[in-house]
């Protein structure tokens, strides 16, 4: 069953990447929906059956019944089925402030070299000039307080920028020490950034570092879809494609309606190489 898949799309690829990063026996606070939740639900069915996750409504360790109705990823009986505890948002915030949240996973609208996250406005904030989005929601707590934060975004020039238009949730702000100068707890912050094409970490100077790329793109293609040049690891990992087993679970149990993964380009194996489908 762990056969490398021969056909998948970009969303499925990135969801499987994050899912494999999810470690068993740790506590996760995940953004309510999209790739963060799908990747955790996939991990629970693969290598991490004992991981526990929280969402903003203060649910602890649910055995969610998927699929959900549209938007019903929190405060619904299916999302919160057979949890260990039901509480409210301040409890989730308290757990994060206390240090119980080992990992946070966030989908982001726009991210910069320091891992600062924008979910407020693209363009100018003042006067309603820019294109407005919903705000940080629960992401500010996750980004500030989880020991390690995993970010997921698109590999697109306009989403991967030198400086976000608005810091909704904190990355390393403007470099080493900045988080603590603004009251955030030490030893926290962005840890990995995933896109459908690549995986990044951070250098000691809190700079984004390209550490892995998908087998269906070149390093040049990745860099061409960034507004700045990141640090590049001395040895680049080639990310492994989804397995048939992962895709079967994702498609038949988790994202049945394709709400999360039915976007992005398709990739196929042809003549021994992965490439974008025509």
**Positions in the binding site for other proteins (CB under 8 A):** 56-59, 65, 69-72, 74-78, 80-82, 86-90, 92-93, 96-97, 120, 125, 127-141, 143-145, 166-170, 173, 178-185
Q: Which is nearer to other proteins, 70 or 272 (CB)?
A: 70
Least CB distance to other proteins at residue 183 (A): 4
Q: Which is nearer to other proteins, 68 or 160 (CB)?
A: 68
Tell me the C-alpha distance between 232 and 77, whole Å: 45
- Residues present in the chain in total: 278
Least CB distance to other proteins at residue 193 (A): 18
Residue 21 CB-half CA count within 13 A: 28
Q: Which is nearer to other proteins, 72 or 223 (CB)?
A: 72
Tell me the C-alpha distance between 218 and 198, whole Å: 10
Q: Which is nearer to other proteins, 17 or 149 (CB)?
A: 149
What H or E segment, with its residue span, contains residue 140? helix 139-145
Q: Is 38 exposed, middle or buried (0-12, 13-18, 19+ CB in 10 A)?
A: buried
Q: Which is nearer to other proteins, 43 or 143 (CB)?
A: 143
Least CB distance to other proteins at residue 166 (A): 5
Tell me the C-alpha distance between 14 and 199, whole Å: 9
Number of Cβ within 10 Å of residue 102's Cβ equals: 16
Residue 13 structure tokens = 């690829």
Q: Which is nearer to other proteins, 137 or 201 (CB)?
A: 137
Q: Which is nearer to other proteins, 108 or 141 (CB)?
A: 141
Q: Which is nearer to other proteins, 112 or 209 (CB)?
A: 112
Least CB distance to other proteins at residue 28 (A): 16
Q: Assess contact for 249 and 42: CB atoms under 8 A.
A: yes
Name 198's bridge partners: 213
Tell me the C-alpha distance between 191 and 86, whole Å: 29
User: Measured between alpha carbons, how far is residue 29 from residues 3, 170, 226, 248, 249 in Å?
Assistant: 30, 16, 28, 25, 22
Least CB distance to other proteins at residue 52 (A): 15
Cα–chain center distance at 231: 20
Least CB distance to other proteins at residue 57 (A): 4
Residue 98 structure tokens = 């206390």
What H or E segment, with its residue span, contains residue 105? strand 103-107
Least CB distance to other proteins at residue 110 (A): 12
Least CB distance to other proteins at residue 11 (A): 21
């Amino acid at each position: 069953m762990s056969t490398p898949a021969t056909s998948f799309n970009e969303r499925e690829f990135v969801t499987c990447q994050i899912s494999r990063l999810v470690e068993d026996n740790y506590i996760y606070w995940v953004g309510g929906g999209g790739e963060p939740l799908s990747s955790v639900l996939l991990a629970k069915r693969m290598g991490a059956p004992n991981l526990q996750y929280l969402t903003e409504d203060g649910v602890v360790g649910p055995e969610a019944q998927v699929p959900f109705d549209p938007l019903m990823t929190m405060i619904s009986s299916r999302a919160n089925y057979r949890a260990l505890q039901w509480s409210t948002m301040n409890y989730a915030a308290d757990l994060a402030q206390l240090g119980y949240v080992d990992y946070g996973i966030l989908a982001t609208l726009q991210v910069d070299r320091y891992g600062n996250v924008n979910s407020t406005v693209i363009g100018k904030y003042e006067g309603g000039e820019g294109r407005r989005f919903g705000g940080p929601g629960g992401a500010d707590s996750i980004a500030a307080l989880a020991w390690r934060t995993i970010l997921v975004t698109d590999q697109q020039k306009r989403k991967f920028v030198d400086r976000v238009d608005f810091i909704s949730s904190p990355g390393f702000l403007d470099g080493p020490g900045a988080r603590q100068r603004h009251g955030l707890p030490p030893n926290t912050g962005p840890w990995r950034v995933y896109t459908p094409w690549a995986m990044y970490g951070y250098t000691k100077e809190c700079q984004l570092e390209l550490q892995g790329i998908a087998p269906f793109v070149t390093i040049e293609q990745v860099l061409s879809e960034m507004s700045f040049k990141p640090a590049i690891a001395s040895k680049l990992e080639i990310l492994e494609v989804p397995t048939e087993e992962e895709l079967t679970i994702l498609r038949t149990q988790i994202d049945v309606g394709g709400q999360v993964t039915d976007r992005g380009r398709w990739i196929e194996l042809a003549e021994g190489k992965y490439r974008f489908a025509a």
